[in-house]
A and B are shown apart, each in its own frame.
Chain A
Amino acid sequence: MGQTVIEKIFSAHSKDEVKPGNIIWLDLDVRSARDFAGANVVGNLRKNYPEKSKFENKEKTVFTFDCVIPANNLGYAENQQTIRVFAEEEGIKLYDSEWGIGSHVLIEDGYSLPGTTTVGTDSHLNIMGCIGAFGQGMGDQDIAFGMKAGKTWFEVPPTMKIIIEGELKAPCSAKDITLAVIRKLTSKGSLGKAIEFEGKAIDNLSLPGRITLSSMVTEMGGIVGFIPPSDEVLKYCKERAKTDFTPQYADEDAKYVEEVVVDISDLRPLIAKPFKPDNVVEVESLEKDNIHVHSGFIGSCTNGRYADMKVAVDMLRDKEVAPKTVLKIVPATRRVLGDMIANNDLQVLFDARTVVSNPGCAGCASGQIGMTGKGEIQVSTGNRNFKGKQGSGMTYLCSPETVTASSIAGKIISPDNL
């Protein structure tokens, strides 16, 4: 019988029978922990495995700092130092405070590859679906075990198919497709299921767009959302790969529990109102309310790639952010920042009066930049707008285009109405 993508990846990583509902032992290609929960992972390892060397495949274990970098409070500083000491003792790779968002670094540095399995303490690690790989966030005990054992148990989820019909047209971008899917599914629409995305508009997405869509499967309730790797994605991964890899595609006769069609032919820029990611409306529907934007944030694992930064740069050239608005721009990784420097983008962003910070999760993780105060209205390219998530203000989620347009106008506005 034909298999879906997750069934094929699992079959290649397990001796057990892979079918929905079965619990299997899953071999882990990459085991990671970040500065959030990473110190607990270290604590669990020290307590349960007091012997000196704890890992057999150290090259598969990675620590990344991204939540609060550099640490700006004692708790994070101490947790990070705990990890540093442990990584040094064990000879494990650590991406310290300069590198940026761990999930992105794992792709950039060729750890996570099409068809592979990655676990870590980041609840958005299912972002790996963007390269056709399995990724999963887990608790600190689970990750400590996975690092030691090189495997974890997992219940094979059923797979649903989401077919995107129609073509993506400016000023809409991958974030608008993503919000359109969430609007249709709601936050429970794919609960406990894997997703496979399909359609011409999906095939045409570049890697940054795929990252955006896959990163918000968590907000759809899904386990992971796969996008079949394109030639561009395969080339990107191959150039960086630390190991060989075998991309997996669904069989023709694979079985799906559900098919959902999302038509984007008439898609307009979308925005998720506070305090739920599935509280999605058209940006234009808010324009008449003249909602003053106190702050904008462009970044996060959802929209922190160079292509996202470039949207802001191109829109802000010879322009300025509105007088009573602050626009915060945070590249996802050091490499993204490197591209911005090489292309002289920082001058444009400086002249436009934006705040640009070092790479990281920033506002999404109560990080080094991007918190909001009571009554503050923020437009953000992040993935969650829950109450209290980014401070006590109100966060609207939208595309980099909409954030930039709204920051220039000083009010929530569709990019083509600027």
Chain B
Amino acid sequence: MEKPITLKGRAVVIRDSSGKPIDDVDTDMIFHNRYLHIIDINEMGQYALDNLDDWKDFAKTTKKGDIVFFGANFGSGSSRQQAVDCFTALGVQALVAKSYGAIYKRNAINAGMPIIQSAIIDDKSLIETGDEVEVNLKTGMIKNLSKKKEHSNRGMSKVQMDIYKAGDLFAYAKNL
């Protein structure tokens, strides 16, 4: 099945209780090292963000198809693949962050998780949890259908798109 270029879903915006974007969310906050022995992706979702203040209930409150927005340097730290896979397990459609840790970015792209880089989280008038949003992976455009606002960003690169369309890095490699 052809992977969609436009994703529509509910926004979940990772700000703290005072409303500020949370920067430097590292891999221990996303998927704590006490769960590293877990290799079955179906078991990973329940622990997503359970070590992040204000968001410990993320796994319980998120819905399939959500698009999650983060601050700067998201996913810094270790190379654990589970920090990406836990979102896939919950049915999260895409991640949008102001910037990513280098290894996290590689892991997300290799796993076929669509990720976009955008500073939209800085502006509350543009995005809040619960808004209905549409993300165009090719152009990078984020449309907030609830607020009737738009925010342009850089789209996914060709390589990223190729891997995403194939499913993951290994599926992509089969067609080489």
Chain A residues with a Cβ closer than 8 Å to the other chain, count: 19
Known contacts A139-B79, A139-B107, A192-B102; A145/B170 CB under 8 A: yes
- The reply on B169 being an interface residue by CB < 8 A is yes
Q: Mark A133-170, 1 if CB is under 8 A from B, else 0.
A: 00000110110110011000101000000000000000
* B109 adjacent to chain A (CB < 8 Å): yes
**Is the CB of B42 closer than 8 A to any CB of chain A?**
no
Chain A residue with minimal CB distance to B168? Answer: A141
How many A-B residue contacts, CB cutoff 8 Å?
A: 42
Residue of A nearest to B106 (CB): A142
A23-B160, A48-B173, A149-B173 in contact; A141/B102 too (CB < 8 A)? no
Contact between B159 and A24, CB atoms less than 8 A apart? yes
Shortest distance from the beta carbon of A147 to any chain B beta carbon, whole Å: 10
Per-residue 0/1 for B61-100: is the Cβ within 8 Å of any A Cβ (1 yes, 0 no)? Answer: 0000000000000000001010000000000000000000
| Contact call B159/A25, Cβ cutoff below 8 A | yes
**Is residue A22 within 8 Å, beta carbon to beta carbon, of the partner chain?**
yes
Given known A-B contacts A48-B173, A149-B173, A149-B176, A142 and B159 have beta carbons under 8 A apart: no
Checking B110, B174, B176 against A142 with a beta-carbon cut-off of 8 angstroms, the contacting residue is B110
Residues of A close to B159: CB separation below 8 A: 16, 23-25, 153
Is the contact region of chain A dominated by helix, strand, or loop, or is it mixed?
mixed
Whether A145 pairs with B169 at a CB distance below 8 angstroms is: yes
Q: Is B6 an interface residue (CB 8 A)?
A: no
- Cβ–Cβ < 8 Å partners of A48 in chain B: 170, 173-174
Q: Is B157 an interface residue (CB 8 A)?
A: yes
Also in contact, A148 and B106, with CB within 8 A (given A23-B160, A139-B79): no
For B73, the closest partner residue in chain A by CB is A191
Q: What are 24 A-to-B residue pairs whose CB atoms are below 8 Å?
A: A22-B157, A23-B158, A23-B160, A24-B159, A25-B159, A48-B170, A48-B174, A49-B173, A138-B106, A139-B79, A139-B106, A139-B107, A141-B169, A141-B170, A142-B106, A145-B110, A145-B169, A145-B173, A148-B173, A148-B176, A149-B173, A153-B159, A153-B163, A192-B102
Beyond known contacts A142-B169, A145-B169: 9 more, CB 8 A cutoff: A16-B159, A23-B160, A24-B159, A48-B173, A48-B174, A139-B79, A142-B110, A153-B159, A155-B105
A→B interface (CB under 8 Å): 16, 22-25, 44, 48-49, 138-139, 141-142, 144-145, 148-149, 153, 155, 192
